[in-house]
């Protein structure tokens, strides 16, 4: 049913394009299709599914319009960027969500599930695996009493020369300072997360949905094993 609706929306865009002022792209007919889907979704159900359905529709139509040259990549970034950031939050693909998931697994005693979120990396040698196991064990000792609070996030661009940036939309790497407590004096750990694939170009790619992965966890007094670029 959705495929039929998508095709119908594209047809509407094509039919409306001759009516648009000179210089405007058929992409400007997109909001009509999106609004139609929103109304249809509300008729079928409500809640998160409505938002996700709308986001998927906008994303798919936007991709088609870019592919056929109706919409420049720079314009699609402005349109798809906010939608893709919403998708990341809905599916738990934000750095804060990954940290929370790891700590929830640790506090519930699900060690293997926690380590799945912080996978092994033989390329980094035995030091990395020792840290991966020992830090997880330290946090396991807090178990059900474990609480956490993100104190600060540092965003890095990973396209070309890695560097600290202020716009999180362009980030391919995130460093989070997290306060962790088990009922006693709180401690801090640094969580380093990298987008799958490493390089992320943000606006140049149209702000695609990112999939974050924990690559290192360590106390602030220690040096990172994975991400050793200046700027820590």
Q: pLDDT tens for residues 83-142?
A: 787 888 889 999 999 999 999 999 999 999 999 999 999 999 999 999 999 999 999 988
88: Cβ contacts below 8 Å, ≥ 6 apart: 94, 209, 210
Segment 32-88, tens digit of pLDDT: 555 555 555 555 555 555 555 555 555 555 554 444 444 444 445 555 677 787 888
Which structure tokens are listed for 15?
Answer: 């039919």
Neighbours of 25 (CB within 10 A): 16
Full-prediction pTM beyond 0.85? no
For residue 214, give the DSSP letter.
Answer: E
CB 124 within 8 A of CB 167: no
Contact 84, 209 (CB under 8 A): yes
Helices (H), the chain: 2-16, 30-44, 48-67, 73-90, 95-107, 111-117, 126-140
């Amino acid at each position: 049913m959705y495929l039929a609706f998508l095709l119908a929306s594209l047809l509407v865009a094509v039919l409306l394009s001759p009516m648009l002022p000179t210089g405007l792209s058929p992409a400007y007919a997109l909001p009509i299709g999106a609004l139609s889907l929103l109304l249809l979704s509300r008729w079928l159900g409500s809640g998160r599914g409505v938002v996700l359905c709308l986001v998927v529709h906008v994303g798919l139509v936007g991709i088609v319009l870019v592919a056929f040259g109706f919409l420049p990549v720079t314009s699609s970034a402005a349109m798809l960027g906010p939608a893709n950031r919403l998708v990341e939050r809905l599916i738990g693909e934000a750095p804060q969500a990954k940290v929370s998931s790891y700590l929830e697994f640790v506090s519930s005693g699900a060690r293997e599930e926690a380590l799945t979120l912080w996978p092994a990396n033989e390329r980094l040698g035995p030091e990395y695996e020792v840290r991966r196991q020992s830090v997880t064990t330290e946090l396991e000792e807090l178990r059900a009493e474990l609480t956490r609070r993100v104190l600060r996030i540092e965003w890095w661009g990973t396209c070309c020369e890695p560097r600290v940036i202020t716009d999180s939309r362009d980030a391919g790497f995130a460093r989070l300072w997290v306060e962790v407590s088990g009922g006693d004096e709180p401690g801090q750990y640094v969580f380093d997360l990298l987008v799958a694939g490493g390089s992320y170009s943000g606006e140049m790619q149209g702000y695609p949905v990112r999939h974050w992965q924990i690559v290192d966890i360590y106390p602030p007094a220690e040096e990172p094993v994975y991400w050793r670029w200046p700027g820590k």
